[in-house]
Amino acid sequence: MEKNIVLLPGDGIGPEVVGQAVRVLEAAASAAGASLNFTERLLGGCSIDRFGTAMTDETLADCQKADAVLLGAVGGPKWDDPQAKVRPEQGLLGLRKGLSVFANLRPVRVHPALVSASPLKPERLAGVDLIVVRELTGGLYFGQPKGRQMVDGHEQAVDTLVYTDEEIRRVVRLAFRFAQQRRKKVTSVDKANVLESSRLWRKVAVEVAAEFPDVALEHMLVDTASMRLVSSPAAIDVLVTENMFGDILTDEASVLAGSMGMLPSASLGEGGAGLYEPIHGSAPDIAGKGIANPLGTILSTALLLRYSLNLPEAAARIEAAVDRVISDGLRTVDLGGSLSSKQMTDEVLARLN
């Protein structure tokens, strides 16, 4: 089996973590009999410096043709001017749109050995193993009309929260499919007591649930969900929600795991290339030092193997190897240790088989 992967290392620590993660991805794929062709392209600040745009049309076309895309991170102080017309994150948003990835998936597990790195009490973290599925291409961030106008002498701003039943159905269905492979429970988060879009969301969620009789559906208001995520996170299996609620809840959920450097993400559509990236940014404060935690990107390659290359055993082997390095007490600087990115990756590779 031959597959094409586009690498978008990006800025800051992006190239450092992607460079290391590719070593693990290659090893796991080749052990599973798959051969991977890698194409590297610029995205973000580095693309602005070279081409004057955060993503060229050629880069997007290469990503659209690929089986999967692995991204590091984009941005940094050099391109941070808020007045600038061309900004690194335009590359990221353009890429998500261009790949039609409508669901962002963030698994959060708390390794028992890392409980002390989390701000939450240990007893609340036992057994936490959840996935947040966030709708990524609709809702308030994209709805029209949006803008400013003068009304009766006052400046007024408008954003529009709009969803179609189809946009809701495809992402809720995806959440149910994930739940089928897991603990068979979907928590659908909305604000149905106030918002019309949420009432449609809830109606569609009920319809989708009828297609999955083996999966339990619970509805939860977003304000309650924000409390439950920190008061009883172990009770959540798959949480699915609209774009803005998901934006906020995914960051809240990431705190459970203690370090930003540990968490992977996947953005998926219907068929087409999936987009895989760690949840952290370009970490300019530690860029170039070779000390970034590569585990979030390494775990993202496990998601890539599972969801884009259909190699679940290879994915599970990477996840087990990462579990073992943590159990064995190996730590990068962000987790209070002293291993470099490369040394940590060497340890993962040593435990892959």
Peptide bond into 145 cis (omega under 30): yes
Q: Could you say which of 217, 283, 302, 318 contacts ligand NAD (CB under 6 A)?
A: 283
Q: Applying CB under 6 A, does 197 fall inside the site for ligand NAD?
A: no
Nearer to ligand NAD, 293 or 301 (CB): 293
Q: Compose the 113-152 pattern: x for residues touching ligand NAD by CB under 6 A, - for all others.
A: ----------------------------------------
Cβ-closest residue to ligand NAD?
Answer: 281
CB 238 within 8 A of CB 205: no
Catalytic residue list contains 328: no
**284 binds ligand NAD per the rule CB under 6 A:** yes
Nearest-angstrom CA–CA distance, 185 and 23: 35
Active-site entry in 191, 237, 276, 334:
191
Maximum Cα interatomic distance, the chain, rounded to a whole number of Å = 70
Q: 277 pairs with which residues across the strands? A: 265
Amino acid in the structure at residue 230? V
d(CA 91, CA 77): 16
Integer distance in angstroms from the first to the last C-alpha of the chain? Answer: 21
The active-site residue out of 129, 247, 323, 346 is 247
Per annotation, catalytic residue among 129, 141, 159, 342: 141
Structural tokens at position 46: 């580095």
Which helix (H) or strand (E) is 133 found in, with range? strand 129-135
247 is catalytic: yes
Does 264 sit near ligand NAD (CB under 6 A)? Answer: no
The residue count of the chain comes to 353
- The 10 Å Cβ neighbour count of residue 28 is 27
* Residue 246 burial (C-beta neighbours within 10 Å; 0-12, 13-18, 19+): buried
Cβ proximity to ligand NAD, 89 vs 218, nearer residue? 89
Asked if 304 and 68 touch (Cβ cutoff 8 Å), the reply is yes
Token pair, residue 32, equals 């599973």
Q: Is the Cβ of residue 260 or residue 326 nearer to ligand NAD in the bound state?
A: 260
241-260: which residues touch ligand NAD (CB under 6 A)?
260
The answer to whether 73 and 14 have CB atoms below 8 angstroms apart is yes
Which lies closer to ligand NAD via its Cβ, residue 95 or residue 172?
Answer: 95
Q: How far is the CB of 159 from ligand NAD (least distance, A)?
A: 21
Q: Note whether 34 binds ligand NAD by CB under 6 A.
A: no
**One symbol per residue from 200 to 229: x for binding ligand NAD (CB under 6 A), - otherwise; what is it?**
------------------------------
Least distance (Å) from ligand NAD to the CB of residue 218? 30
Q: Which is nearer to ligand NAD, 17 or 55 (CB)?
A: 17
Region binding ligand NAD by CB under 6 A among candidate stretches 268-276, 288-296, 310-318, 320-328:
288-296
Minimum CB distance to ligand NAD, residue 176 (Å): 27
- What is the spatial distance between Cα 161 and Cα 4, in angstroms, rounded to a whole number? 37
Q: How far is CA 49 from the centre of its chain?
A: 26
Closest contact distance (angstroms) between CB of 19 and ligand NAD is 13
Nearer to ligand NAD, 92 or 125 (CB): 92
Q: Which of 81, 251, 289, 328 is catalytic?
A: 251
Catalytic: 141? yes
Burial class of residue 101 in the structure, from the number of CB atoms within 10 Å of its CB (0-12 exposed, 13-18 middle, 19+ buried): buried
Tell me how many helices (H) and strands (E) the chain has. Answer: 12, 12
Q: How far is the CB of 291 from ligand NAD (least distance, A)?
A: 7
Residue from 2, 155, 214, 285 in contact with ligand NAD (CB under 6 A): 285
41 with 6: CB under 8 angstroms? yes
Q: Is 91 a binder of ligand NAD (CB under 6 A)?
A: no
DSSP 3-state of 127? coil
Active site residue 307: no
Catalytic site residues?
Answer: 141, 191, 223, 247, 251
Q: Which residues bind ligand NAD (CB under 6 A)?
A: 13, 17, 73-76, 92, 260-261, 280-286, 292-293, 296, 334
